[in-house]
Amino acid sequence: MGVIAPNGTGLDDFWHSLVRGQSAVRRVTHFDASTYPCQIAAEVRDFDPLRYLDPKTAKRLDRFAQMVFAASQMAIEDAQIDSSREDLSRIGVFIGSAIGGIGVIETQHNIFIEKGLKRISPFTVVSSSTHSASGAIACHFHFRGPNTTIAAGCNSGLDATYSAFNAIRLGDADVMIAGAGEAPITPFSFAAFNVSGFLSRENRNPERALKPYDSNADGMVLGEGGAILVLEELQHALQRKAKIYGEIVSYSALNEAHDLFGAESCNGTMALNLEQTLKKVGIEVKDIDCINAHGNGILPFDIEETEAIKKVFGEAAYQIPVTSIKPITGHAIAATGIFQIISSLLSMKYGVIPPTINLECPDPRCDLNYVRKDPLTWETRTVLINAHGFGGRMTALIVKRLSSEPPVS
């Protein structure tokens, strides 16, 4: 696994920030946001693309692709993939991104308006493409297997992961580089999110702005970053004695088909989606040790998620620990799903569930066993991960510790 996140670069820093409940939300520094209603975001502040890319390639990639590429280097190193020993046509890349190269688009559009057509970079078409990250990884590492990009809003990272899982299951690849990246904190993109009304306006206290399930919640906080998983066919991994964090065992995706922007808590689609995720592989309610929830600080979405969990888990819903890491990482759109997977796998490794910080006054309709304030020491073998996107998209995925392997040392 590899991660470039607002709360930490690399697995250790990312995890330690989660466990300590250290929010990465601050006032925006990428540009002057002083006139915006929301002036806060979770930015990746220590990222230098030249640590991972040669200057020419770095210049030709948008920030989102730079971070995805860096995370892929970390993940491939963590997985100890030796390209000289692999059939590179059996290694593929699936990346999720909802926004893509919006920074390049904005910059080049400004150049076009101010200086004319001839001053636009000839690399704009490629570098602004949502697919640029997936292509850059494949070209650099010479991975010739299946390669695609999925753009499905907040669910894109989980969707890319499961698509990569299926590529292996169907025999199209032995190894898949799967993940997501976003860099939406740019002047116009951030303005668009501002006028949507979905962003918190608690500018005076950024670290406490995003409050999932809280009666005082006033919206989400935008984030950015890149995160990558190396997925591998089990026997292939065992033969090369790879360390194994866990396995993907199930996935389900539905659409509530209600409204492009809102949430509909009464139609039960999210509950059905969670139920399908369990039933597909015969996992029972009692087998779920933790729920790594969407919890984005937009109260109607948080209420809908809570109601869905109660409908599926019944009385057990009040015993299963539920956590949302977004108050710490921000909502990095497609990348958030991969942050959730990495967080869940590290919870299995360390036996600790990170807290949902800023949850002080739970809404009466949000009454589950949320992990609050402090991390919870908890034996974690199976985690249900949930995501909910605009347009009614719902995605759930289950990861578990591989029963035949000891925890990662």
Are residues 217 and 110 located together in one domain of the fold? yes
Q: Is 294 a catalytic residue?
A: yes
Tell me what pLDDT residue 265 has.
Answer: 59
CA distance 8 to 16: 8
Task: Give domain status of residue 302, yes or no.
Answer: yes
CA distance 344 to 381: 9
Count of domains in the chain?
Answer: 2
CA distance 379 to 394: 27
Can you give the residue range of the structural domain that contains 23? 2-239
CATH number at residue 133: 3.40.47.10
- Which of 239, 273, 301 is the C-terminal boundary of a domain? 239
pLDDT along the chain (409 residues), means of 10: 98 98 98 98 96 94 98 98 96 97 96 95 92 96 97 95 97 98 98 96 97 97 98 96 96 86 72 96 96 96 95 96 98 98 98 98 97 96 94 93 62
The pLDDT tens digits for 317-334 are 999 999 999 999 999 999
- Which of 239, 263, 290 is the C-terminal boundary of a domain? 239
- Diameter of the chain by CA atoms? 65
The pLDDT tens digits for 185-209 are 999 999 999 999 999 999 999 999 9
Q: Is 154 a catalytic residue?
A: yes
- Which of 239, 255, 281 is the C-terminal boundary of a domain? 239
Burial of 303 (0-12, 13-18, 19+ CB in 10 A): middle
* Tokens 């002047």 sit on residue: 187
Tell me what pLDDT residue 267 has.
Answer: 66
Q: How many whole angstroms from its chain centre is CA 397?
A: 12
- Amino acid occupying residue 29: T
Q: Is 331 a catalytic residue?
A: yes
CA distance 240 to 235: 9
Predicted TM-score (pTM) of this structure: 0.96
Among residues 154, 290, 366, 388, which one is catalytic?
A: 154
Phi, psi of 208 (to 5 degrees): -110, 15
Are residues 300 and 194 located together in one domain of the fold? no
Mean pLDDT over the full length of the chain: 95
For residue 224, what are its two tokens?
Answer: 């950015």
Are residues 230 and 269 located together in one domain of the fold? no
Report yes or no: 76 and 141 within 8 Å, Cβ to Cβ: yes
Are residues 107 and 232 located together in one domain of the fold? yes
CA distance 210 to 324: 10
Q: For 303-361, give the DSSP string.
A: HHHHHHHHHHHGGGGGTS-EE--HHHH-B-THHHHHHHHHHHHHHHHHTEE--BTT--S
- Four-point Cα dihedral 61, 64, 70, 71, nearest 10: -150
Among residues 38, 131, 290, 331, which one is catalytic?
A: 331
Could you tell me which residues are beta bridge partners of residue 389? Answer: 393
Tell me what pLDDT residue 407 has.
Answer: 46
